[in-house]
Chain A
Amino acid sequence: MLEIKNLSKKYEGGPLALDDVSFNIPQGEFLAVIGLSGSGKSTLLRCINRLIEPTAGDIIWNDINVTKASDDELLTIRRKIGMVFQHFNLVNRSSVLTNVLSGRLGYVNPAMSFFNKFPQSDIDNAHKELERVGIAEKAHQRADELSGGQQQRVGIARAMMQNPAIILADEPVASLDPVLAHSIMQHLEKINKEQGVTILCSLHFLDLVHKYADRAIALNDGKLMFDGPPAEIDDEKFREIYGKEAERVG
């Protein structure tokens, strides 16, 4: 159970990016976060693992207060929260395997990881994760030699190496074509259904939301506008979330 309570974030010299947002996510839910660009979706996701420090409010995860955690505690919290990014955020010059293994950094001995030494079990797991996303044969290629869809699969494999309870997916399919987008979303769905991993996924296309999400929340200007099943988003709700001039596509 992840509880977000009255979360606010104000960037220095900027407007409120998040304005008193509260909602709960039960373990194992697939939650879609929708809203216009700049509505605070990325900020919300990054506040949950504190890549961005929230200004006010609490994030309670299984009775641990994430916002109050010390630096050391934060590292052990983060390692249970996987993250997938719009631009994949792989280290381009490193091999695919190294990128996947970097998901274990929160677990392994820091002194050994300094010399790029990982336990054999982690290396075996990394190959298994790559196999699961269907790019086992790419393990020793450089990450930037892969296509966009393949890179995002590496991103998912990296997140899965963390053995996560939650995956935060920040517009994971926004830079991919529709066919690839579905394939990536299916991977996330499988992780959600088979392993019971909670997924928070910000999305642009409503058809993806309808197809994959159990529930959706919508942000506009940092405010929570909607919280309910995706089927409830009718034309009126849609205009409320996206503004009066908006027209539905896809």
Chain B
Amino acid sequence: MNNNKKSLKKSISVGLAVALGLIIFAYAFQVTDVDFGTTRDEIRQTSLTRVLRALAHPDLVEYETNELNVEIPFYLPCPDGETPAMPEAATDAPYLTASAICGEADELIIIEGFNMPAYSQGPLNFITISSVKKQLDNFQADADGYFINEIEVPNRQPVAEAQAIRATVRTNVGSPMWSDNAIATWEKIIETIFIALLATTIGTLIAIPTSFIAARNLMVENTSPLTSVAFSIIGWLIGMWFGSQITKWLMRLFDPVYENLLFTFIGAALSFGLLYALLRGSISAKAVESTNSGKEIFTTLGIAISGISFLILFGASFRAIGAAMIEPLGIFGFLANFVFQLGEIIVMLTPAIIAIFIGAFVGSMLSKIGQRISDNMPAAQVKLINIILALLAGAAIFALFGAGVEWFYQIGNPVRTLYIPAAVGAGLGLILAITTTAKNPLPTGLIIYTITRTFLNGTRSVEPLVMAIIAVIWVGIGPFAGSLALALHTVAALAKLYSEQVESISAGPIEAVQATGANQLQTIVYAVVPQIIPPYISFTMYRWDINVRMSTIIGFVGGGGIGFLLSQNINLLDYRAASAQMLAIAVVVASMDYISSVIREKFV
């Protein structure tokens, strides 16, 4: 009996589940407006047929045409007195006959054509004396070149002279030529491929270093006590501020140098030489146990200043060379423009790079001091120092956060965007300093990892189409906007994929390289990078493939590339032209797919 009950229960629950499923699908039909009646509607079917046929005839080629015009005079209205005679026609040449060669507007007349080219077709036009055309109908000749059409006399100004009804046959002559649409499609598909190339390159360059920060196995070992963390945060902030000030000052200092191309070159070469010599010279700093700290500081300062000068002058000389060469290079001016734009990028990024470098430098210096304090002082004193530092660091971070809020929302009230956040930050810092045991290491690596991952996930979830809209506002409609949007999305997507590859590498070589006394950067270069090259190449190719597909639609919102053309033609209802673009996209995507799989096979 028990068994029976169980199976009854089971069949009821299955029945309910099925019923629920049906209800869900029924609702889905309603929500999505499913209406199969419309698919049988005759008007819609005709339009569908028309569009499908247009799509099947991509607008790619055109011909030179020969026009054959066959006319019959026509009087509108009939002249007074005698009716004009039907013109005599040679029986072997094409000619037209009409049921009447004069008449009033709206009168119906039958036109017959003889000896037309077999199966030819074309328009039947009414030609006024000033040669203005009015299409009356289309004719379609049979195998003997005969056609018959009934037309309506058009409502035109009455004149005494003969006007005409004309049948026109256009025949293609010569070899086919690419149509204007095909040429435009070609230009835009090339643009599309290069958008994808640029976006992938820029994205990859940024994604590679990011992926190391977003890899758990590389970050989890980084722990440091609160003293060191707080010191490091304060150091970063001071260093970045200081770096941006130095850059501004140096850029102003170099202003007169820019004016002279030669000085810029010499400056760039000199600063590079100095930088190289100092870097070479600092070899001994690590090899010799007891280092002269005065000399070390001097060297470091020298490296910093020559490095900054080099960056600034390097960018400036690129810009100068580029600008000077655009004209003389003529058709290869794009190469000079490339150099110029590279210079622009360097000049634009210089303050940021320098601020980050000096920030990192001061941050790590202070962090070392913090580590030493934490290691060598008694716990109670460390705790006190922690409290003060965490207070300061928390306040500084939250004040910066408040500045961000102020920029977005323009509250304009320093109490709410500066003082309160600073106070909250100080409070949180205080709580952290009090609750953590003074010398315990905090998982700083994991925190940075989590923040990076969150940022990447957030960026990745924004569609490139949306990013393109914002980029279009920033840099205007065109392929540059599309490249920027795709590059940003590429960074987010690739950094995640890359970091997962880093997480799956074998730990043995890392351990071995660490055991030789290599620092973290050296460990990455010698133990991590060789292991990840094949998957990185594979993912980069895959991403290029995706970017080609993405850049075909990014034009819909003004991001350049073939999508721009495609959306235009669809809006103009020019389906034959749109079909050419779809064909181009299909060819490019398919060949990309093939090429990338070949390259991937080679490397992996």
Instruction: State the A residues within 8 Å of B (CB).
Output: 49, 51, 68, 70-72, 75-83, 85, 87-94, 98, 102-114, 116, 119, 155, 158, 161-162, 168
Closest A residue to B525 by CB, please name it: A114
- A–B Cβ pairs within 8 angstroms, 20 of them: A51-B515, A75-B518, A82-B515, A83-B516, A85-B511, A91-B513, A91-B530, A92-B530, A93-B530, A94-B526, A102-B516, A102-B526, A103-B516, A107-B286, A107-B287, A109-B286, A111-B282, A113-B525, A114-B521, A155-B512
Which of B197-205, B260-268, B368-376, B475-483 lines the interface with chain A? B368-376
- Interface assignment of B80: CB less than 8 Å from any CB of chain A: no
Interface contacts beyond A76-B289, A78-B515, A102-B518: sample of 15 additional A-B pairs, CB < 8 Å, sorted by A: A70-B375, A75-B518, A83-B515, A91-B513, A92-B531, A93-B533, A93-B534, A105-B517, A107-B287, A108-B283, A109-B282, A109-B283, A111-B279, A112-B280, A162-B517
Whether A87 and B522, one on each chain, are in contact in the complex, defined by CB atoms closer than 8 angstroms, is no
- Interface assignment of B514: CB less than 8 Å from any CB of chain A: yes
**Contact A112/B516 with A68-B375, A89-B508, A91-B527 known, Cβ cut-off 8 Å:** no
Q: How far is the CB of B584 from chain A (nearest CB, A)?
A: 39
Whether A78 and B517, one on each chain, are in contact in the complex, defined by CB atoms closer than 8 angstroms, is yes
Whether A102 and B286, one on each chain, are in contact in the complex, defined by CB atoms closer than 8 angstroms, is no
Q: Which of A80, A85, A116, A168 has the most CB of B within 10 A?
A: A85
Whether A51 and B514, one on each chain, are in contact in the complex, defined by CB atoms closer than 8 angstroms, is yes
Which residues of A have CB within 8 Å of B509? 89-92
Identify which of A68, A72, A90, A98 contacts B512 (C-beta below 8 A): A90
Q: Once bound together, how far apart are the Cα atoms of A116 and B530, in whole Å?
A: 12
Q: How many residues of B contact A (CB 8 A)?
A: 31
Q: How far is the CB of B229 from chain A (nearest CB, A)?
A: 14
Which residues of A have CB within 8 Å of B371? 70-71
Tally of A-B Cβ pairs under 8 angstroms: 109
- Interface assignment of B38: CB less than 8 Å from any CB of chain A: no
**Contact A110/B511 with A70-B371, A72-B368, A93-B530 known, Cβ cut-off 8 Å:** no
- Interface assignment of B410: CB less than 8 Å from any CB of chain A: no
Whether A76 and B517, one on each chain, are in contact in the complex, defined by CB atoms closer than 8 angstroms, is yes
Identify which of A75, A89, A94, A162 contacts B530 (C-beta below 8 A): A94
- Interface assignment of B413: CB less than 8 Å from any CB of chain A: no
- Interface assignment of B155: CB less than 8 Å from any CB of chain A: no
Which residues of A have CB within 8 Å of B508? 85, 87-89
- Interface assignment of B175: CB less than 8 Å from any CB of chain A: no
- Interface assignment of B47: CB less than 8 Å from any CB of chain A: no
Closest A residue to B224 by CB, please name it: A71
Q: Once bound together, how far apart are the Cα atoms of A77 and B514, in whole Å?
A: 12
Whether B512 and A109, one on each chain, are in contact in the complex, defined by CB atoms closer than 8 angstroms, is no
- Interface assignment of B157: CB less than 8 Å from any CB of chain A: no
Which residues of A have CB within 8 Å of B372? 70
Q: How far is the CB of B372 from chain A (nearest CB, A)?
A: 7
Whether B286 and A91, one on each chain, are in contact in the complex, defined by CB atoms closer than 8 angstroms, is no
Whether A109 and B375, one on each chain, are in contact in the complex, defined by CB atoms closer than 8 angstroms, is no
Q: Once bound together, how far apart are the Cα atoms of A91 and B372, in whole Å?
A: 34
Within 524-543 of B, Cβ neighbours of A (below 8 Å) are at 525-527, 530-531, 533-534
**Contact A105/B368 with A90-B509, A113-B525, A158-B512 known, Cβ cut-off 8 Å:** no
Closest B residue to A105 by CB, please name it: B518
Which residues of B have CB within 8 Å of A103? 516
Identify which of A81, A82, A91, A161 contacts B531 (C-beta below 8 A): A91
Whether A110 and B519, one on each chain, are in contact in the complex, defined by CB atoms closer than 8 angstroms, is yes
**Contact A51/B511 with A91-B531, A105-B526, A109-B286 known, Cβ cut-off 8 Å:** yes
**Contact A109/B511 with A76-B517, A91-B527 known, Cβ cut-off 8 Å:** no
5 A-B pairs closest in CB distance: A106-B517, A79-B517, A105-B518, A89-B508, A89-B512
Main secondary structure, interface of B, reads: helix
Q: How far is the CB of A155 from chain B (nearest CB, A)?
A: 8
Which residues of A have CB within 8 Å of B534? 93
Which residues of A have CB within 8 Å of B519? 75, 105, 110
Whether B286 and A89, one on each chain, are in contact in the complex, defined by CB atoms closer than 8 angstroms, is no
Whether A112 and B514, one on each chain, are in contact in the complex, defined by CB atoms closer than 8 angstroms, is no
Q: Once bound together, how far apart are the Cα atoms of A119 and B283, in whole Å?
A: 10
Q: How far is the CB of A230 from chain B (nearest CB, A)?
A: 27
Q: How far is the CB of B40 from chain A (nearest CB, A)?
A: 63
Closest A residue to B509 by CB, please name it: A91
Q: Once bound together, how far apart are the Cα atoms of A108 and B531, in whole Å?
A: 22
**Contact A106/B518 with A72-B368, A112-B280, A113-B525 known, Cβ cut-off 8 Å:** yes
Identify which of A71, A93, A109, A116 contacts B280 (C-beta below 8 A): A109
Q: How far is the CB of B231 from chain A (nearest CB, A)?
A: 14
Q: How far is the CB of A89 from chain B (nearest CB, A)?
A: 4
Q: How far is the CB of B578 from chain A (nearest CB, A)?
A: 47
Q: Once bound together, how far apart are the Cα atoms of A152 and B525, in whole Å?
A: 22
Identify which of B280, B516, B522 contacts A114 (C-beta below 8 A): B522
Whether A158 and B516, one on each chain, are in contact in the complex, defined by CB atoms closer than 8 angstroms, is yes
Q: Once bound together, how far apart are the Cα atoms of A186 and B515, in whole Å?
A: 23
Which residues of A have CB within 8 Å of B533? 93
Q: Once bound together, how far apart are the Cα atoms of A243 and B525, in whole Å?
A: 45
Which residues of B have CB within 8 Å of A51? 511, 514-515
Whether A93 and B531, one on each chain, are in contact in the complex, defined by CB atoms closer than 8 angstroms, is yes
Which residues of A have CB within 8 Å of B368? 70, 72
Whether B286 and A110, one on each chain, are in contact in the complex, defined by CB atoms closer than 8 angstroms, is yes
Q: Once bound together, how far apart are the Cα atoms of A3 and B526, in whole Å?
A: 32
**Contact A109/B279 with A71-B371, A90-B512, A158-B516 known, Cβ cut-off 8 Å:** yes
Q: How far is the CB of B528 from chain A (nearest CB, A)?
A: 9
Q: Once bound together, how far apart are the Cα atoms of A219 and B525, in whole Å?
A: 36
Which residues of A have CB within 8 Å of B513? 91, 102, 105
Q: Once bound together, how far apart are the Cα atoms of A168 and B508, in whole Å?
A: 15
- Please encode chain B, from 328 to 357, with 1 for each CB lying within 8 Å of some chain A CB and 0 for all others: 000000000000000000000000000000
Q: Once bound together, how far apart are the Cα atoms of A75 and B287, in whole Å?
A: 12
Whether A106 and B516, one on each chain, are in contact in the complex, defined by CB atoms closer than 8 angstroms, is yes
Which residues of B have CB within 8 Å of A49? 515
Q: How far is the CB of B318 from chain A (nearest CB, A)?
A: 21
Q: How far is the CB of A167 from chain B (nearest CB, A)?
A: 10
Q: How far is the CB of A58 from chain B (nearest CB, A)?
A: 14
Whether B526 and A91, one on each chain, are in contact in the complex, defined by CB atoms closer than 8 angstroms, is yes
Which residues of A have CB within 8 Å of B289? 76
Whether A78 and B279, one on each chain, are in contact in the complex, defined by CB atoms closer than 8 angstroms, is no
Q: How far is the CB of A18 from chain B (nearest CB, A)?
A: 18
Q: How far is the CB of A187 from chain B (nearest CB, A)?
A: 17
**Contact A83/B517 with A93-B530, A112-B279, A113-B525 known, Cβ cut-off 8 Å:** no
Q: How far is the CB of A229 from chain B (nearest CB, A)?
A: 29
Which residues of B have CB within 8 Å of A161? 516
Q: Once bound together, how far apart are the Cα atoms of A47 and B513, in whole Å?
A: 16
